[in-house]
Amino acid sequence: MTPQHSTEAAPPAQEELYALTSRLLENVGQVVLGKADSIKLAVVALLAQGHVLIEDVPGVGKTLLARALAASIDCSFRRIQFTPDLLPSDVLGSSVFHAPSSEFVFKPGPVFGNVVLADEINRTTPRTQSALLEAMSDRQVSIEGTTYPLEAPFIVLATQNPYEFEGTYVLPESQLDRFMIRIRMGYPVRAEERRLLHDHRVGEPVKTLQAVITAEEVVQLQDGVRRVRVDDAIADYLLDIVHLTRRSEDLHVGVSTRGALTLYRAAQSMAMVSGRDFVVPDDVKSLCVPVLAHRVLGKSFLQAGEFGAAEAIIRDIVDRVKVPT
């Protein structure tokens, strides 16, 4: 008998995957100046099939980061400007009457895109914010008894202003937990800000940005993330940090099991973005604050949105856990 050979193509080599991620990082970095760490975290979330919450004062590049990432990928991009009068149907879509067929036809909303920018997400009501929950967790939308799958890749990049700004609504814990990574942009250094002024003399550079990676290649990268090796010692190190948050006297609520799984997947993605097919302790350590700080509730910052104390507590916990060698 003639042996049967598999027709499935072999997965891309590690070098090919790293080349793709490097190309993506470099392209976004052309317009988002001086924010290499923020760009890297956004790409880590994309490849780990997570979502990103970008928080800071207005005008420091939150929306620019999302637009640059979307422009660098040959895929569909949708922007939702969240306002107090926005309704869930404005996000998800609704059925409209089609006169020629005398039937109601579903008209997809802007959430049906590969890269969705939820701009100023905390300026709309909790009811509308919750419209994104199913899409972010299950990659699908259920409307009027029908479930519509979302096309891969799918990522929500949400921006929000600090809660003390007028006209903002607190994001509920269930919404925060859907975001894999939370990023703070911060102000650029003077030299980069000067270059930014120069680059904007003739227009917005992001409008000239060309796609350097396809949607299919993003899916390949996401598949590659799941093949990144995690040693048992690294997994135990991650769990030591998670369990210490649950026993901390400074926290009312520690990291959930979903939070632990999210940190695990993000560490795999960080390893790939760094050109490795295995996770090292620094991958976990560098991600603890952006992945875990918005998932805990401390005793001294019961008001929603005060994350500075949470970040300090997470850093202290990470420093107390022995790093595997």
Taking the complete model, does pTM exceed 0.85, yes or no? yes
Q: By the 8 A CB rule, do 66 and 105 touch?
A: no
Answer with the residue of higher pLDDT: 305 or 177. Answer: 177
Task: Check if the beta carbon of residue 302 is closer than 8 Å to that of residue 173.
Answer: no
Question: Where residue 182 falls among pLDDT bands split at 50, 70, 90?
Answer: very high
Instruction: Please check the confidence at residue 231 and state whether its pLDDT lies above 60.
Output: yes
Residues making up the chain, counted from first to last:
325
CA distances 39 to 72, 82, 164, Å, are: 12, 23, 26
* CA-CA-CA-CA torsion sign (164, 166, 168, 170): positive
Domains recognised in the chain with CATH numbers: 11-227 (3.40.50.300), 228-325 (1.10.8.80)
Q: What was the pLDDT predicted at 284?
A: 97
CB 267 within 8 A of CB 234: yes
Report the C-alpha gap between 30 and 81 in whole angstroms: 25
Residues 37-90 have pLDDT tens digits of: 999 999 999 999 999 999 877 766 788 888 899 999 999 999 999 999 999 999
Name the nearest CA neighbour of 115 among 160, 173, 68.
68
Burial class (CB in 10 A: 0-12, 13-18, 19+), 102: exposed
What angle separates helix 14-29 from helix 257-273, to the nearest 10 degrees?
Answer: 90
Question: Parallel, antiparallel, or unpaired for β 77-81 and 251-253?
Answer: unpaired
Name the burial class of residue 58, with classes exposed (0-12), middle (13-18) and buried (19+) by CB atoms within 10 angstroms of its CB: exposed
**Amino acid at site 237:** Y
**If phi over 0 gives left and psi between -120 and 50 gives alpha, with beta otherwise, what is residue 41?**
alpha
174 touches 133 (CB < 8 A): yes
